[in-house]
A and B are shown apart, each in its own frame.
Chain A
Amino acid sequence: GAVVSQHPSRVICKSGTSVKIECRSLDFQATTMFWYRQFPKQSLMLMATSNEGSKATYEQGVEKDKFLINHASLTLSTLTVTSAHPEDSSFYICSARVWTGGLDEAFFGQGTRLTVV
C-alpha cells in the first residue's frame, strides 16, 4: 500500500537554529501534503497544506515565515522550522491523501519529535 516516509524521527536542536523535516511519498505521487502538529496528550492540529509547485496554505495562527514549506516535487515536501525556540518543541506529522476511485485514505508519516533546547 501507499507509504509516506518522514525523516528524521527525532531531532534535538539549539534555540535559534533551523530544522528541516522531510516527507516523501514512496510509491505514489502526492500533489498535496498536509502538515500537522501535535502537542503532548493533544490532538493533531493542521498547520498547513502543501501543494506541489505552488505556495503552501497556512492555517490561521501559523506563522508562515517560521514554518517554511516547500513542495518541489510530487514525492517530496519539506517543513523547515526556522529560528526554533523551545515553544516549537512538538511532534510534527505529515500526511498525504490518496483518492482514486474506490480508494480513499490518508497516509501518515512516522512523525518527527522536535526538541528545542
Chain B
Amino acid sequence: AQSVTQLDSQVPVFEEAPVELRCNYSSSVSVYLFWYVQYPNQGLQLLLKYLSGSTLVESINGFEAEFNKSQTSFHLRKPSVHISDTAEYFCAVTPGRSGNTPLVFGKGTRLSVIA
C-alpha cells in the first residue's frame, strides 16, 4: 500500500517570496506522483505530475516539483508566489502503470500568501 505525508498543514508566506511545500511518500513499488490544487468549494485541479523520465517537472504557472527516489520525496516549489496562489495543495501517489487504481492523498497543505 502507498501513503503520503505532507509535513506542513499550513504555510504562510509573503507575496513574491519563495515557497516549498513538502511531500514524502511510502511505497514498495514504483509510483506516479501528483500535486493538485484546490480552491474553496471546488474540485481538484492537476498542478503537475511525475510519471517517468526527468525528475524535475514543471507547471505552466511557475510551480515545479522534483522526484527524489532516495529520499522518497516530491516537494513542490515556487520561486515567487502571488496572492492568487492561496489555496489548498494536495500531494498524491498511485502505483505506476497499474491502470485503474485510485490516488492516495496527503492531508493537504494550506498555502496562504500575504500581501
Q: Which one of B21-29, B66-74, B102-110 is at the A interface?
A: B102-110
**Chain A: interface size category:** 20 to 34
Q: Contact: A43 with B108, CB < 8 Å?
A: yes
Tell me which residues from 72 to 117 in chain A have a Cβ below 8 Å from any Cβ of chain B: 91, 93, 95, 97, 99, 102, 104-106, 108-111, 113
* Given A31-B100, A34-B102, A95-B102; A42-B42 close (CB under 8 Å): no
> Roughly how many angstroms separate A64 CA and B23 CA in the complex, as a whole number?
32
Q: Is A26 an interface residue (CB 8 A)?
A: no
A101: min CB distance to chain B, Å: 11
Question: Complex formed: what's the CA distance from A91 to B45 in Å?
Answer: 16
- Determine the distance from Cα of A32 to Cα of B44 in the docked complex, in whole angstroms: 18
Beta-carbon nearest neighbor of B99 in chain A = A99
B positions within 8 Å CB-CB of A: 32, 34, 36, 41-46, 49, 51, 90, 92, 94, 97, 99-108, 110
Residues in A lying within 8 Å of B, measured CB to CB: 6, 31-32, 34, 41-44, 46, 49, 91, 93, 95, 97, 99, 102, 104-106, 108-111, 113
